[in-house]
Amino acid sequence: MTLPDELALEQQRVSAVAAAAGLDFFQVIFEMVDWEQMNTVAAYDGFPVRYPHWRFGMAFDQISKSYSWGLSKIYELVINNDPCYAYLLRGNSFVDQKLVMAHVYAHCDFFKNNAWFAPTNRRMVDALAGHATRVKRHIDREGQDNVERFLDACLSLENLIDIHAAYAPPRRKPDAEADAEAAKDGVVRYDAKAYMDPFINPPEVLAEQRLELEKLREQDAPFPLRPERDVLWFLLEHAQLKAWQRDLLAMIRNEAYYFAPQRLTKVMNEGWASYWHSRLMTEKLLEASEIVDFAERHAGAMAMQGTQLNPYKLGIELFRDIEDRWNRGRFGKEYEECDDREKRRAWNRELGQGRDKIFQVRQTYNDVTFVAEFLTAEFCEEQKLFTYAFNPQTGRKEITGRDFGEIKSQLLQSLANGGQPIIEVTNGNFRNRGELVLTHRHDGQDLNLARAYETLVNLHRVWGRPVHIETVVEGKGRLLSYDGEKHEAEEL
């Protein structure tokens, strides 16, 4: 549903104010939806069309119950696309709609300008609609149960990508007969004009490469020769899959790489949007009668709950701190000794250095580098940050300290690799029987064993042969295995 005239005019105003403040964004298209439509779109990760699968229905059920019971309410939903699509909830107050618009325009600026989003598909709405069509065709040909079971397996592995890769690497598949044979043998062959091929790919060099590979195979050398973090790509290239299965796995991998930057920049993205909705609303957009309502909404979004880290709060305060620090000294001693935060922010608005710095940070950093470089002991003290741990005696999470080093270490650990364990393929021919070995790069956090065993089941469904994962459990090396019938665990 298109926006009513009043909101359409307000969108033009918000857009102009955001652009005048320096934000640079794609065209934004707002859709007005009711709460059920909003919950449906949220279950689809913000997209209007997705492939048929039970997980979207489960997500819709959870979101709807949370809304009905008053536990949560979705205020804004925006898609990284060109143009950006965003949704406004019918029935919200005018100040709510205005706040959401300001927040959305800042998100769109982040999508467009942050380096980690640069390689993402800016036509993902169309791409996901195409994925839905392809899945439906596979269901018609292979049956819903077969397709759904394989999708279940693929989705349980969707986080096993190289999240720091700039994009899903386009691993070239040779199509010429000679190249296909070379690829089958594992020989590196370079593209060349026909008349240059003997010089670029000399037969004697290719023969030598094949001989070296045969020697490695005889020695039971690991395959791949180097650990491969993009597990989904390895499965696509080397698992014995049918054409429709390979197509489904490729779609899941494509979507995983699209969503990866959002996992890598959650704190920055939400902090940037919150910084700008706060600034635009208080400086340009609010009427006097709307200030209290806005303050209530903003305070609710910034609230910290116990041991849960609020990315909105951490992000906005860190951006403000960066701006403040880069402006220090410009007003001399008076600025340094001023305890009035609002007065200092007013000074910040008159200065350009801090503002330029936060735009630079927005462009090049992700959450890990953002926290690693700009988190300070003074900031942690001001924000009352702390470390905590579960106390088995009391059965509760309790504060363990306020040491800056420990706070920063725990925070970085929670953000590293998008909060997911680092898993790599280290052997695709274990015991010389085509068995697959993954290795967990242990960083102090043990794997959830129940989930690990279930993941091995789904990995076996894709690989088709016994699968293993090397990890550490309570300080001891373990090899967890699944052969298609039973699980095993042996000490390394």
Type of residue at 22: G
The yes-or-no verdict on residue 182 having pLDDT over 50 is: no
Whether 49 is covered by a domain: the verdict is no
Confidence band of 181 (pLDDT split at 50, 70, 90): very low
Number of structural domains the chain divides into? 1
**pLDDT, averaged across the chain:** 87
Tokens found for residue 475: 């300080």
Q: Which residue has the higher pLDDT, 94 or 331?
A: 94
Omega before 202 within 30 of 0, i.e. cis: no
Q: What is the pLDDT at residue 426?
A: 95
Whether 479 is covered by a domain: the verdict is no
The answer to whether 263 and 76 have CB atoms below 8 angstroms apart is: no
Share of the chain above pLDDT 70, in %: 85
Confidence band of 179 (pLDDT split at 50, 70, 90): very low
Rounded-to-integer distance, Cα 24 and Cα 246, Å:
39
Q: What is the pLDDT at residue 176?
A: 41
Tokens found for residue 77: 């939903």
- Residues 43-68 have pLDDT tens digits of 999 999 999 999 999 999 999 999 88
Average pLDDT of the segment spanning 198-215: 59
Of 298-307, 321-330, 342-351, 364-373, where does the model show the most confidence? 364-373
The answer to whether 231 and 157 have CB atoms below 8 angstroms apart is: yes
Whether 397 is covered by a domain: the verdict is yes
- Residues 391-423 have pLDDT tens digits of 888 888 888 889 999 999 999 998 998 888 999
Q: What is the pLDDT at residue 404?
A: 93
**For the whole model, what pTM was predicted?**
0.85
Q: What is the pLDDT at residue 346?
A: 72
Average pLDDT of the segment spanning 335-361: 76
Whether 357 is covered by a domain: the verdict is yes
Rounded-to-integer distance, Cα 367 and Cα 369, Å:
6
Omega before 83 within 30 of 0, i.e. cis: yes
Confidence band of 217 (pLDDT split at 50, 70, 90): low
Helix (H) or strand (E) holding 423: strand 423-430
Rounded-to-integer distance, Cα 265 and Cα 272, Å:
10
Q: What is the pLDDT at residue 206?
A: 57
**Residue 435: φ, ψ to 5°:** -85, 150
Average pLDDT of the segment spanning 207-230: 70
Q: What is the pLDDT at residue 172?
A: 41
Type of residue at 407: I
Of 69-78, 351-360, 444-453, where does the model show the most confidence? 444-453
Question: Of 427, 471, 456, which Cα lies nearest the Cα of 238?
Answer: 427
The count of other CB atoms within 10 Å of the CB of residue 283 is 12
Q: How far is CA 164 from CA 228, 255, 363, in A?
A: 13, 15, 16
Share of the chain above pLDDT 90, in %: 67
Average pLDDT of the segment spanning 351-358: 79
The answer to whether 41 and 47 have CB atoms below 8 angstroms apart is: yes
Between 236-245, 305-314, 375-384, 399-408, the lowest mean confidence (pLDDT) is in 305-314
Average pLDDT of the segment spanning 104-122: 96
Q: Which residue has the higher pLDDT, 45 or 175?
A: 45
Whether 356 is covered by a domain: the verdict is yes
Tokens found for residue 59: 């997500």
Rounded-to-integer distance, Cα 47 and Cα 263, Å:
17
Question: Of 407, 437, 489, which Cα lies nearest the Cα of 238?
Answer: 437
The yes-or-no verdict on residue 147 having pLDDT over 60 is: yes
H helices present in 160-230, as ranges: 177-185, 197-200, 203-218
Helix (H) or strand (E) holding 60: helix 54-68
Note down the domain range covering 382.
306-417
Tokens found for residue 399: 């504060």
The yes-or-no verdict on residue 184 having pLDDT over 50 is: no
Tokens found for residue 163: 């999240």
- Residues 357-382 have pLDDT tens digits of 999 999 999 999 999 999 999 999 99
How many Cα neighbours within 13 Å face the side chain of 254?
A: 15
Q: Which residues pair with 32 in a beta bridge?
A: 88
Q: What is the pLDDT at residue 394?
A: 87
Q: How far is CA 296 from the centre of its chain?
A: 29
DSSP-assigned letters across all residues of 93-152: -HHHHHHHHHHHHHHHHHHHH-TTTTTS-TTHHHHHHHHHHHHHHHHHHH-HHHHHHHHH
Render the burial of 35-55: b for 16+ CB within 10 Å, e for the rest.
bebbbbbbbbbbbeebbeeee
Long-range contacts of 485-492 (CB under 8 A, 24+ apart): 487/453, 487/456
Rounded-to-integer distance, Cα 241 and Cα 83, Å:
36
Q: What is the pLDDT at residue 354?
A: 78
Tokens found for residue 80: 């990284």
Whether 323 is covered by a domain: the verdict is yes
Q: What is the pLDDT at residue 205?
A: 58
SS (H, E, C) 349-418: HHCCHHHHHHHHHHHHCCHHHHHHHHCCHHHHHHCCCCEEEEECCCCEEEEEECCHHHHHHHHHHHHHHH
Whether 362 is covered by a domain: the verdict is yes
Q: How far is CA 26 from the centre of its chain?
A: 20
Between 145-159, 245-259, 278-292, 298-312, the lowest mean confidence (pLDDT) is in 298-312
